[in-house]
A and B are shown apart, each in its own frame.
Chain A
Amino acid sequence: MTLTHIKYPLLICVCLGSLLLAFSSGQYPLSLQQQGMLLLHFFSQHSNDINDSAANVFWHLRLPRILAAIMIGAGLAAAGAAYQGMFRNPLVSPDILGVSAGAGLGAVLGIYLDQSMLMIQLLAFGSGMLMVLLVCAIARLSQQRDPMLSLVLVGIALAALCGAGISLIKLLADPYSQLPSITFWLMGGLSGISLSDLQATMPLILIGLLPLFLLRWRMNLLSLPDDEAKTLGINVRQTRLIFIASATLLTAAAVSLAGIVGWLGLVVPHIARLMAGADFRQLLPTSMLTGAALLLFTDTLSRTLVDIELPLGILTACIGAPFFIFLLIRGQGRR
């Protein structure tokens, strides 16, 4: 029996394990019995007692955070798998077209202008989407024969400009109040996420996932050279645009909620490919489950490892980068 045969049972076990660990761990530990009681109480009376501190921690602190980790992990991993496939490059991450850089600039501007949390999220989302639109528009003007190369090059150029903008705002920001917020946002994190934040983001992530799921077979053809894909009977340009729009929506929604969580979208599709192979029909659900489990586990670590909360970006880099090097040494990196 190989890893391929047991992938889904194994993945579901890992996800459930991460879920239980996430609900139980933290500065206010919740036993399995307490969690069971809280769920029972909720389903029998259709309401929960917010005065009870255990219930408060369970429903208002842990649950939104756990749901956010699952959604963002699955979304970033799906976006990463889609971007790697359509760019025919396993080293591509979801921010290849500048969505994270754009969202970063929007959020940093929002923090600098003392906007509300909702406004900061909206600015991050809007500027992330706008950046990818700009990249696509400018790439169309270029004379490069390879449209994908144009996209990547324009993406790099505009991301550099956003980086310059972020640096400038950091220089101008108040070093005692705004600068720490900016730094924390740029390193990613799920603290302070409420259920109402999720109500805004969850539909965006579902809308982004839907085309990826429905067109999952066509993703395989997009990962072939363009000439081959066209002669097999698909409209390459149209299909690619749909995938770019969906993956960008996923990334922008994730980044606007959690800040810049690096490495996840790059590494998770590799782990998923080891289990499920290159076929996007299996790669997509495997990536989503793996991404959800990994971000849930990382987020639990971030709030339990030391007394202060560690930014997610630091932990995902510490886990992702060594694992990526391990894959490269094993020779699996290019698959």
Chain B
Amino acid sequence: MLLELKQVAIGYSQQQLATDINIQIADAEIVCLLGRNGSGKTTLLKTILNLQAPLTGQIYIAGKPLSQWSAPELAQQIAYVPQAQHYCFSFSVLQMVLMGCQARLRLFATPSTQDTQRAYQALAILGIEHLAKQQIDQISGGERQLVLIARALTQSPKLLIMDEPAASLDFGNQIKLLNQIQQLKQLGIAVLMSTHHPRHAELVADSVVILHKHTHAIQGLPSALLTALELAKLYGVSQHSIERHLSGVTPPLFNTKVLP
């Protein structure tokens, strides 16, 4: 198993956000993480990235406890794609993507021509090699998100962790992003992404993790967990509202048979 969480509790010393979290992610599996605002989705992702320690429980990456991985070793296993944001200094897209090579560089080394080729390959996979020389603050939010994915790919990771990658994207860019995420699966890369859109999870996920604040998390197939009943419980709205919102404009994605 690529990633395994056993009885993990997350949060801060004064505040426990969620407990009893058991998650398993296999190679090339796409997993979507859903939960209310403040339920601890970002905290869970940061805990898996070793940016903060779990309150209790064990996390294993490729069978080895998370705490035993050094930062460069871990960066070659797990890459992080944050939400596209404003950067203080305007690096070029190529420079930004090259930063993904850091984990393989020796202490005083700078990226080589091979690293540059690798960065161009990552840009080509995402179809944005034409942006290489542009400044990161001169491209659109959607393009910036793709650049961050390209940087993560340059790390040659086995698992990509994405924190609400579609949050600031327009409808078209959301579709493009989901297509790219499905492409990653073809490359053998697993993805764990948090999202506020059950529909996105339905479209791309092999399995879904639902995080209930202060209580527990459950993992299961999208068809089992993305039901109106489960979503109503999760988000604290009526089943009727969920059905109305998720089956209006486009053909229903949800199997109506499972609805009570």
Contacts and interface: CB of A to CB of B under 8 A. Distances in A.
Interface of A: 85, 88-90, 214-218, 220-221, 223-225, 227-228, 230-235, 273, 277-279, 281, 334-335
B7 interface: no
A223 B99 contact: no
21 contacts: A88-B88, A90-B88, A217-B105, A221-B99, A221-B102, A225-B82, A225-B85, A227-B46, A227-B49, A228-B82, A230-B71, A231-B49, A231-B78, A232-B75, A233-B72, A233-B74, A235-B71, A277-B90, A279-B91, A335-B89, A335-B137
B50 to A, nearest CB: 8
A295 to B, nearest CB: 24
A254 to B, nearest CB: 24
Interface residues of B, number: 34
A169 B88 CA distance: 40
B91 A232 contact: no
Given A227-B51, A232-B102, A278-B95, 19 more contacts: A88-B89, A214-B107, A214-B108, A217-B110, A220-B95, A223-B89, A224-B99, A227-B46, A227-B82, A231-B51, A232-B103, A232-B155, A233-B71, A233-B76, A234-B102, A278-B89, A279-B95, A334-B88, A335-B137
Contact of A233 (B90, B92, B102): B102
B222 interface: no
Contacts, number: 83
A162 B137 CA distance: 39
A202 B137 CA distance: 39
Interface centre among B71, B88, B111, B151 (most CB of A within 10 A): B88
B109 interface: yes
A217 B91 CA distance: 13
A3 to B, nearest CB: 15
A118 to B, nearest CB: 35
A224 B81 CA distance: 13
Interface in B62-83: 71-72, 74-76, 78-80, 82
The 9 closest A-B CB pairs, nearest first, are: A233-B103, A233-B75, A278-B89, A231-B80, A233-B72, A217-B110, A88-B88, A214-B108, A232-B102
Contacts of A334: 88
B87 interface: yes
Interface in B132-158: 137, 151, 155
B215 to A, nearest CB: 26
Contacts of A215: 107-108
A188 B85 CA distance: 41
A234 B109 CA distance: 13
A87 to B, nearest CB: 9
Given A215-B108, A217-B109, A281-B110, A232 B88 contact: no
A214 B109 CA distance: 8
Contacts of B111: 217
Contacts of B88: 88-90, 223, 334
A236 to B, nearest CB: 9
B99 A277 contact: no
Contacts of B103: 232-233
Nearest to A214: B108
A88 B88 CA distance: 6
Contacts of A216: 110
A89 B91 CA distance: 14
A277 B49 CA distance: 31
Contacts of B90: 277-278, 335
A163 to B, nearest CB: 28
Interface centre among A224, A231, A234, A277 (most CB of B within 10 A): A231
B45 to A, nearest CB: 10
Nearest to B108: A214
A315 to B, nearest CB: 28
Contacts of A89: 88
A213 to B, nearest CB: 9
A85 B89 contact: yes
B100 interface: yes
Contacts of B107: 214-215
A227 B80 contact: yes
Contact of A231 (B79, B92, B105, B108): B79
B78 A220 contact: no
Contacts of B155: 232-233
Contacts of B91: 220, 277-279
B185 to A, nearest CB: 21
A335 B91 CA distance: 9
A1 to B, nearest CB: 16
B139 to A, nearest CB: 15
